[in-house]
Structures are given as C-alpha cells and as structure tokens.
Amino acid sequence: MSVVREFMTTNAQCIAEDKTLQEAAQLMKQLDCGSLPICGSDGKLSGFITDRDIVVKCVAEGRDAREVRAIELATGKPHWIDADASVDVAIEMMERFQVRRLPVITDHKLVGIISQGDIARNYAEDRVGELVEHVSARTPMDHTV
C-alpha cells in the first residue's frame, strides 16, 4: 500500500495568518508554487490560499494586496491528510471535496503537500484519470483546498 508521505512534496511552507497577500505572492514566487497553507501563530492549519484567490478576491476587486491579510481569504474548513494515510484515501478526499491539493500533517505540523500532479507522476494511470475527471467537475469559482 502506498502512503501519502511517499508521494508528497516536502518543501511546503505556511504563510502566517497576519501576513499580507503581497507577502504570500512573494513566497509563492520564491517557492515556485501556486498555493500556500495558512497557519496560525500556534503553527496549526487555518486555511489555504491560492494565486487565483489573490487575483480574484483581491486584485480584481480593487483591493490592495499590501493591506489584505492572508487570513481574510481563508474560507471554510481546511481539509488535510495524515502523512501515513494511504494514497487512495487522499484521492478519495480530493474527489469528495473537489480539491487539487491537500496539506499533509504529522503530529499537528505541516510536513508537505500532496497534489494531483504528485499522484499523476507516481500512481496507476486509471486511478489518476478518475481523480482528474472528478476534481475537474467543479464550478469555476470553487477553489478551496
């Protein structure tokens, strides 16, 4: 049985709740990624932010990315998975919640992120096809984790 830790990207970093969207965008650029988990001062996951969130919910609305805090865009309950969970469970969660990535947690700490791409590069082709099909059947504005 394959587990999440075998597939996940390990260089994941959180953006603190009180950081601005400009700082979040700069960190995304530095890490060459399009999304970041949002963590509270206690280090616990409080949300997730994407580059699309920054554009659609801040820039397109004429808000100032230097003023808006990351936590302001964290909506809903963040979904996550344990590093020792099976990849099949991760796929089921992605399908159920129609998300393309999940933060990976061990001992209440972020240890990575598993994405559709991580799974596609390392898993059975037929299972990946199902995942992409189910997750892609989303509404255009649905973009949470």
In the prediction, which pLDDT does 121 show? 85
User: Of 11 and 94, which is predicted with more confidence?
Assistant: 94
Q: Quick check: 140 pLDDT over 60?
A: no
- The answer to whether the beta carbons of residues 144 and 99 sit under 8 Å apart is yes
Domain 4-136, what architecture? Answer: Roll (3.10)
**Residue with structure tokens 């963590």?**
39
Tens digits of residue pLDDT in 27-53: 999 998 888 999 988 888 889 999 999
CA dist 131 and 35 (Å) reads 19
Phi and psi torsions of 24, nearest 5°: -65, -45
Cα dist from 11 to 32, 33, 58, 116, whole Å: 11, 10, 26, 16
Domain spans in the chain, listed from the N-terminal domain onward: 4-136
Averaged over 88-105, what is the pLDDT? 91
User: Of 27 and 128, which is predicted with more confidence?
Assistant: 27
